[in-house]
Structure 1
Amino acid sequence: MSFRINPAVAAVHPPPITEVLGWLGGRKNSDLALIDLCQAVPSYPPAAAMTSHLKALLDDPLIARYTPDEGLAEVREAVCARYRRIYGAVINPGRIDLTVGASQAFWLAMIGLCEPGDEVIVQEPAYFDHPMGLAMLGIRMVAAPFVPENRGIPDPATIAALITPRTRAILVVTPSNPTGAVTPAPVIDELYELARSNGIPLVLDETYAEFIAGSPRPHNLFTRPDWPENFIQIMSFGKTYALTGFRAGMLAASEEFIGQALKAQDSMTVCQPRIAQLAVKFGAENLDDWVRDNCRMMQQRHDRFRDEFTGPGNRFELVTSGAFFAWVRHPFPARTGREVARLLVEEAGVLSLPGEVFGPALTPYLRLAFGNIDDSAIPEAVARFRAIAK
């Protein structure tokens, strides 16, 4: 190749899931059924009622056309109505933008906030797409370190000490991807006040918020009339409604910020696909009970996975877990997480992600996405961990 690649892009490690899938060719026993604990995808399909509804829309010639960049007004109003029910939100359609997945919402937020050389404080373990995106945009990620005793939940005092004149945002994922840990509402309130006192926003990626057991409202920020002054939310309907391939995300912010973000969106994707928007509208208007049922099911799956994993004979240590994920310490101190994850693929037929893709110092860890597998596969999955660590 004779042309130059942007060094900021070339320096970024390839997508971790692509890397892990590339190890499948080295499997020692291809007859052993593969257990995928790698990519976080709901193991169940969309609601049957939604699928039937969407089928009936496919003959409409409008289904293949553009919508306004920010999304159809009736879809955004349906989302706002649901946010009022769930969050008690002070929100209107002008404060949300429907995006092509939560990943695009993240990019829009960072592009709207930062110039090259600016800083964003990110709690580690960090969802790997976030440091990848920041690096390619020339934005410095300032890591708040992972503290196992705190389950990786952000400490406002630690984050306060990291703020500099170049800080443009505090970014937290809750429930955490990769640990599953939920940042408590009082901590979110502290982080919001910290951001507000420094004239920056708190950016919450709440992709897995619908899987918090026992609490329909993970925080009260949306009840504040002034929330758009210092709060930005990244959200995914892909996990909520099992629509990951539809790429149905959302950015919630002030009307002014949404207006600026749409400049970038128009040059990226124009709009979220119309079919995805209509799926979100149906879900927001009809599937609250279905979502709650899945939350309970996933909590039961989590509890079974935790009980199996922490039973006798497993040298892998469960450090923290919740929602879709388990964050475990592997028992091979001389090996990196990448080496252990590859060993699991090649020797045990188990896909996972190495800890260092969530932070360079996190080589003792692995992320397991148990949300991918049915309850019936959990005992076999855990048995393979026990066997490989004997």
Structure 2
Amino acid sequence: MRELSNLAMTLKGSIIREMHTAAAGMTDILNFTVGEPDFVTPQPIIERAYKSMLEGKTFYSQNRGILALREAIHQHHKEVDGTNIEADPEDNILVTIGATEALQLALLATINPGDEVIVLTPCWPNYLGMIAVAGGVAVCVPGYEENGFAPNPEDIEAAITPKTKAIMINSPSNPTGAVLPKSTIDEIAGIIEKHDLFALVDEVYRTIVFDNQKAASLTKYPAIKDNIIFINSFSKTFAMTGWRIGYVIAVPELISKMTLLHQNFANSIFVPAQEACITALEECLPDSEKMTESYEKRRNIIVKGLNDIKGFSCVQPGGAFYAFTNISEFGMPSREFCLKVLKNTNAVTVPGVGFGKSTGRLNLDHFIRVSYATADDKINEFLNRLNDFSQKFFASK
């Protein structure tokens, strides 16, 4: 066989999938790896998709997504969500295969080979792969544990070079659950304006925010509205991860080019799933709010529980459903630690080393990611097993 492309040979697989493989064949598994709700999609959404299929709506749709869904997205952001973002359904919105495709299309539409993209770490590992696919160079700027993993805007400014083209912002964050404070967002907005950067604003967790707070958003700054590429999905908000529906809102010139790229990747999205998303926006926000209430309760359980166990330290996340937990007292790399936990407790977690690049004082090998999008009884059992593991580990020292 002829040799494969350099890109195919250099891309790395997901460390999350690596842990799944390590747990394959084991029984009595407690899985705290996957970043998806444990709730079933609300019934009205399912019924709308079923009705649409019975009506024979199983053909190709418009490349940008059906107009009715784009109009529903427009109304949602205008009347409900409160984002200060131009979302004309004809010109500013593209429906995509989840937020993942939206992010990749945005990078392909804005990045030339060698262009640099600022990534705030810890980060979702796919960011680095997506930037590589687009031919760009990821420049990681760390957020530190003592600041709740929020970056220092001065570090962002210092990382910018003549090659810097874009910055990726994810708040609430995967993997830390960090919700960037408004003061930080203010300064990042100023940096974007000063350097005329594209801003890929990944807000797929924007509805999952705790303590009666609302996440500050770069969409609120008129001076950079043409720089903003706003990306969202239905996956986390409505427990629809398997449906694979997301969208991007940006200026017409960018949406037009992203649509051309989308035509070459996917052409169009399954119509019954799109119609189901209309129902999600119009009828199922109360279901989403109940899910967020459950995540907040689980957050409280798991953060207290982890901090009560010797060797574990966890700052309280403000949103999403992840606890990025310090395990440095155990004195081993995060991959080795997770495999040891798996072997001794049958609990699957994710090594922190997989969430970006260690830079500055941030050593990702000192952390693991725990997803608490699971039932309370499983969380309590997980904490009990970790406590037993910790006691035995330190007793043997």
When normalised by structure 2's length, the TM-score is 0.91
Cα deviation per residue 1:137-186 (whole Å; 9 max; x = unaligned)? 32110000231111211221110111111111111211110000101233
Task: State the partner residue of 1:16.
Answer: 15
**Distance in 2 of aligned mates of 1:106 and 1:132:** 11
Shift of 1:88: 4.6
Task: State the partner residue of 2:198.
Answer: 201
Aligned residue among 71, 77, 84 for 1:83: 77
Shift of 1:115: 0.8
**Distance in 1 of aligned mates of 2:336 and 2:313:** 17
Report matched runs for 1:217-296 at 5 Å.
Answer: 217-219=214-216, 221-224=218-221, 227-296=224-293
Shift of 1:221: 4.2
Task: State the partner residue of 1:351.
Answer: 348
Corresponding residue SS for 1:238:
coil
For the 8 Å contact 1:316–1:386, the answer to whether it is kept is no
**Distance in 1 of aligned mates of 2:222 and 2:270:** 31
Shift of 1:381: 0.7
1:370 and 2:366 aligned: no
In the alignment, structure 1 segments of 5+ residues that lack a partner are none
Task: State the partner residue of 1:210.
Answer: 207
Corresponding residue SS for 1:80:
helix
Task: State the partner residue of 2:140.
Answer: 143
Cα deviation per residue 1:327-364 (whole Å; 9 max; x = unaligned)? 01114554211111112222211111111111243111
Cα deviation per residue 1:221-252 (whole Å; 9 max; x = unaligned)? 44555653111112121111111011011111
1:323 and 2:320 aligned: yes
How many residues in Structure 1 have an aligned counterpart in Structure 2? 382
**Distance in 2 of aligned mates of 1:88 and 1:332:** 42
Task: State the partner residue of 2:394.
Answer: none
Cα deviation per residue 1:89-114 (whole Å; 9 max; x = unaligned)? 34211211111011111101111110
Shift of 1:315: 1.8
Identity of aligned residues (%): 25
Report matched runs for 1:324-343 at 5 Å.
Answer: 324-331=321-328, 333-343=330-340
1:53 and 2:54 aligned: no
**Distance in 2 of aligned mates of 1:336 and 1:197:** 39
**Distance in 2 of aligned mates of 1:159 and 1:225:** 21
For the 8 Å contact 2:193–2:223, the answer to whether it is kept is no
**Distance in 1 of aligned mates of 2:16 and 2:44:** 31
Change (3 A) 1:190 1:172: same
Letter matched to residue 382 of structure 1: L
Shift of 1:21: 1.1
For the 8 Å contact 1:26–1:346, the answer to whether it is kept is no
**Distance in 1 of aligned mates of 2:214 and 2:260:** 31
1:92 and 2:88 aligned: yes
Letter matched to residue 385 of structure 2: R
Task: State the partner residue of 2:119.
Answer: 122
Task: State the partner residue of 1:36.
Answer: 31
For the 8 Å contact 2:140–2:357, the answer to whether it is kept is no
**Distance in 2 of aligned mates of 1:145 and 1:283:** 36
Shift of 1:384: 1.5
**Distance in 1 of aligned mates of 2:106 and 2:23:** 35
Shift of 1:52: 2.3
For the 8 Å contact 2:303–2:316, the answer to whether it is kept is no
RMSD of Structure 2 on Structure 1 (CA): 1.8
For the 8 Å contact 2:63–2:268, the answer to whether it is kept is yes
Change (3 A) 1:51 1:159: same
Shift of 1:288: 2.0
Shift of 1:278: 1.1
Shift of 1:132: 1.5
Name the stretch that deviates more: 214-223 or 353-362.
214-223
**Distance in 1 of aligned mates of 2:118 and 2:223:** 23
1:384 and 2:385 aligned: yes
**Distance in 2 of aligned mates of 1:72 and 1:26:** 43
For the 8 Å contact 1:151–1:181, the answer to whether it is kept is yes
When normalised by structure 1's length, the TM-score is 0.93
Task: State the partner residue of 1:105.
Answer: 102
For the 8 Å contact 2:168–2:200, the answer to whether it is kept is yes
Change (3 A) 1:82 1:217: farther
Letter matched to residue 13 of structure 2: P
**Distance in 2 of aligned mates of 1:232 and 1:219:** 16
Change (3 A) 1:217 1:386: closer
Aligned residue among 302, 306, 320 for 2:303: 306
**Distance in 1 of aligned mates of 2:39 and 2:337:** 29
Change (3 A) 1:197 1:223: same
For the 8 Å contact 2:328–2:367, the answer to whether it is kept is no
Corresponding residue SS for 1:123:
strand
**Distance in 2 of aligned mates of 1:208 and 1:220:** 12
Letter matched to residue 113 of structure 1: T
